[in-house]
Amino acid sequence: MLRQKIPSFSSIDSRTESHRLFVGHVLDSSIVLIVRCILVANRDAEPVGVASLVEAFHRRDIHLQVVSPSGVEVHLEPSKGATVVPRLSPGTVVIHRNVMQSIPLLTLAFDCWSDCGVDILNDFRRSTLSRNKFEAAVALDRAGIPVVDAVAFTPPHFGPMPKSDRLVVKPACGARGIGVERVQSLEDWLEPVDLMPQSYRPFWIAQPEVLNADQDWRAFVIDGKCVAIMRRRAVRGEWRANAFLGAECTPDDPKNKFGLAAEKAVLSLGLDYASVDIFNTDSGPVINEVDPWGGFAAISRTTGIDVADRIADLVALRAVGSGL
């Protein structure tokens, strides 16, 4: 649906908007839908993901305006309340990616936009909860979804750790395997000081080593459905199965048990779309993480499913649903 070639209406203007974020999108020969969409993203953190979203929207003649976190301000006028710049009218769809360093201010901004009827894809508070691997695991566990045992701690103090021959230590908000380390005990672990900025560290997590987790599954779930899934196998000499670290990726069936587990996880966290990493254990799939800002270049390349394109479809659908 909504994927036919559509003419451009980008010259359409509206006097009611403070920002020109306009696009024409033809649903059929008689209805023209005006979709207004902005992406709040730190371009430097993940230029490829942002560029592929911009292209996917462009193919639909939807102009996706990219706003950096530093372009967002919240203004408080006593007795009039708080407003956000840029000002957005009800029905505008906002998506976001990789804004780790700006979470406190953007939480205020997204709350205000939401109060004004702006449609946020991936509720911002739920997204930041999910980005924190420990908070997400607690929420998943509450929903009865299998997760890995974990201890959240702040160095240099740590108490009893999960019982295991080896521990895996990782930043609570990390990416691409950076800072994920395997140690015999925490006495052997030295807190890394040179993590990338997107590996923001509110605290650290220690987990038991999951057997055979040098192979895991990366799924992408959009609007409740697993649209793409791949198996990742760590390269020789590496134990982490990140595509960024060279893991061999092969497409798999989105309807398999890992895809279904991913769908349940995303549903239980209340997200519109997310990537999910899943381990295979003797007792079935175990969720490692659910990431609303998860990368989709590798999974798109491996499976042939253009994930950015599917996200653009969802935005168009939501704009229709909002009654524009």
The phi-psi region of residue 120 (left if phi > 0; otherwise alpha if psi is between -120 and 50; otherwise beta) is beta
Q: How far is the CB of 132 from Mg ion (least distance, A)?
A: 14
Q: Where are the beta strands (DSSP E) in 69-145?
A: 73-77, 81-85, 93-97, 119-120
The entry of Mg ion, ligand ATP, none that residue 180 binds, CB within 5 to 8 Å by partner kind:
ligand ATP
Contact partner, 213, from Mg ion, ligand ATP, none, Cβ < 5-8 Å per class: ligand ATP
Shortest distance in whole angstroms from residue 311 CB to Mg ion: 19
> Shortest approach of ligand ATP to residue 200 CB, angstroms?
12
Query: Residue 252 or 277: which CB sits closer to Mg ion?
Result: 277
Question: With respect to ligand ATP, which residue has the nearer C-beta, 112 or 180?
Answer: 180
Cβ(49)–Cβ(96) below 8 Å: no
Nearer to ligand ATP, 207 or 268 (CB): 207
CB of 232 to ligand ATP, least distance (A): 7
Residue holding tokens 């590496």? 238
CB of 179 to Mg ion, least distance (A): 12
Q: What angle do CA 124, 295, 245 make, to 5 degrees?
A: 135
In this complex, which beta carbon is closest to Mg ion, that of residue 52 or of residue 275?
A: 275
Residues linked to residue 64 through DSSP beta bridges, in sequence order: 37
Which is nearer to ligand ATP, 24 or 295 (by Cβ)?
295
- What DSSP designation does 43 have? G
**Which of ligand ATP, Mg ion, none does residue 240 bind to, with CB < 5 to 8 Å depending on kind?**
ligand ATP
The upper half-sphere exposure of residue 321, i.e. CA atoms within 13 Å in the direction of its Cβ, equals 11
Q: Report what 209 binds from Mg ion, ligand ATP, none; CB cut-off 5-8 Å by kind.
A: ligand ATP
The closest of 38, 31, 25 to 66, measured between CA atoms, is 38
Q: Are 128 and 111 in contact (CB under 8 A)?
A: no
Question: Which spans of this chain sit near ligand ATP (rule: CB under 6 A)?
Answer: 148, 168, 170, 174-178, 180, 207, 209-210, 213-214, 216, 240-242, 277, 288-289, 291
State the minimum distance, in angstroms, from the CB of residue 289 to ligand ATP.
5
Binding residue count for Mg ion, defined by CB under 5 A: 1
Closest separation between CB of residue 11 and ligand ATP, Å? 40
What is the rounded distance in angstroms from the CA atom of residue 92 to the CA atom of residue 98?
20
Site for Mg ion in 259-318 (CB under 5 A): 277
| Binds 310: which of Mg ion, ligand ATP, none (CB < 5-8 Å by kind) | none
**Quick one: what does residue 175 bind among ligand ATP, Mg ion, none, with the CB cut-off 5 to 8 Å set by partner type?**
ligand ATP
- Whether the upstream peptide bond of residue 69 has omega within 30° of 0, thus cis, is no
Please identify, using beta-carbon distances, which residue of 70 and 250 lies nearer to ligand ATP: 250
DSSP states along 212-276: TTTEEEEEEEETTEEEEEEEEEPPTT-----GGGT-EEEE--TTSHHHHHHHHHHHHTT-SEEEE
Where do contacts with Mg ion occur on this chain (CB under 5 A)?
A: 277
